[in-house]
A and B are shown apart, each in its own frame.
Chain A
Amino acid sequence: MFLQGYGSLIVEGTLTTIQLALLSMLLAVSLGLIGASAKLSRYPVLRHLAAGYTTLIRSVPDLVIMLLLFFSLQIWLNNFTEWLQAEQIDINPFAAGVITLGFIYGAYFTETFRGAFQAVPAGQLEAAAAYGMNRRQVFIRVLFPQMMRFALPGIGNNWQVVLKATALVSIIGLIDIVKVTQDAGKNSMDLFFFSVIGGLIYLALTTVSNGALLWLERRYSVGVRGAQL
């Protein structure tokens, strides 16, 4: 039997983890782009809001924010449904995981994208404006593609961190790699073996994404000359 009969369970947990990581990543990148635009905005209110978001989130540990949001959101939701005199709604741990991970790593992506936007030489934007492009065209044709090149190493690092942070979501009750391997280990009395299996699955995921990132970086650096030593 494949992994003492726990194979299909472990595959399911792995798929949950991958889905969780991809969706949180999507949310975090969106929040990061919004946050970076706010940080570089002309309006001081937006700049201060974004600065508060990144400073606060990056100084408090992710697990603390996760538990804080998970428990408080549920209590607020309970108060709200009670006020409406409706049935109690239990927050789905998967949704809670995506929202909290996305919200936390959005702050890290904000910093990544802010740095990348600022790394695009101002002359490029002036040249585009001189060609008569409007602000939207400048953004789509010149600023965004070049920003991505600078942001890519940071995005790669953050992706690896998000992927590893998904292991924490089993603490708020999601049935992910950690949870299924621990359950399999407890039931089969072979906790060591199954914990190592959990570690190996994560190692495989990080190795594959490392390869993909290297390929992407090469793809986005086409046309950049590096010094030959």
Chain B
Amino acid sequence: MNEIIEQYWQSYLWFDGYQLSGVAMTLWLLVASIAIGGILSVPLAVARVSRNPLLRLPVWFYTYVFRGTPLYIQLLILYTGIYSLQIVRDQPTLDAFFREGINCTLLAFALNTCAYTTEVFAGAIRATPYGEIEAGRAYGMSEFTLYRRIILPSALRRSLPFYSNEVILMLHSTTLAFTATVPDLLKVARDVNSATYSSFEAFGLAAVLYAVMVFILVWVFRRCEDHWLAFMKPQAR
């Protein structure tokens, strides 16, 4: 155990001698995918609850497909599948993008978490008390102002507990990155496993590091909930 830590601690944490690896790579995958997915999911959630079927149905279809299939298959389609198409290889830009495992991984992760986050936000928007919306309309707010001032600030706060679940599940999902040759924490553990044959130590070390990341995330989200959901707490008199 000590030998593995002594020899490989740097690869496990942030650098394998060539590039970013281990915990740092895993965190980069997590932050980049939830940032892209989070930004895209807000307008998609508004479209998802729209009365206009031309807005609502395409978003419904997108979340249905991405939530109904395993992320591993989505990654395989985007990584090996698309790159096997001759049309993609003939196009220099597409060729350069899809040749890199990390690009395909980030694309798959962002699209996947965006689908789940869209449904989380859409659910929170639907649960907005009708009185708040009617009051906003009575003040003469336009749809845009209504969303900006009333619906989104309240819905995004209320979705925080469900959103934190999704972020933790996304951290768990980043373990798939090694199948696209991205040197995340699990890839380092697998390499150490094949170099030393100490499976329990190699994977156990990764498991401990993942658990530490989850505990920190849980703590951060609890602080966020204390701050932004304070108005929903039972009040002591």
Mark A residues whose CB is within 8 Å of B. 56, 59-65, 67-68, 71-72, 74-75, 164-168, 170-171, 178, 182, 185, 189-192, 195-196, 198-199, 202-203, 206-207
Contacts of B73 in A (CB 8 A): 167, 178, 195, 198-199, 202
Contacts of B179 in A (CB 8 A): 171
Q: Return the chain A residue nearest B88 by Cβ.
A: A192
Task: Determine if A202 and B80 form an interchain contact, defined as CB atoms under 8 angstroms apart.
Answer: no
Contacts of B190 in A (CB 8 A): 67
CB distance from B78 to the nearest CB of A (A): 9
Interface: B141 (CB within 8 A):
no
Task: Determine if A192 and B172 form an interchain contact, defined as CB atoms under 8 angstroms apart.
Answer: no
Task: Determine if A195 and B80 form an interchain contact, defined as CB atoms under 8 angstroms apart.
Answer: yes
Task: Determine if A68 and B203 form an interchain contact, defined as CB atoms under 8 angstroms apart.
Answer: yes
Contacts of A196 in B (CB 8 A): 77, 81
CA distance A190 to B80 in the complex (A): 10
Mark B residues whose CB is within 8 Å of A. 65, 68-74, 76-77, 80-82, 84-85, 171-176, 179, 186, 189-190, 193, 197, 199-200, 203-204, 206-207, 210-211, 214-215
Q: Return the chain A residue nearest B78 by Cβ.
A: A195
Task: Determine if B74 and A71 form an interchain contact, defined as CB atoms under 8 angstroms apart.
Answer: no
Beyond A59-B215, A60-B207, whether A192 also contacts B84 by CB under 8 A is yes
Beyond A60-B211, A178-B72, A198-B73, whether A71 also contacts B80 by CB under 8 A is no
Q: Return the chain A residue nearest B84 by Cβ.
A: A191
CB distance from B179 to the nearest CB of A (A): 7
Contacts of A56 in B (CB 8 A): 211
Beyond A75-B199, A192-B85, whether A178 also contacts B69 by CB under 8 A is no
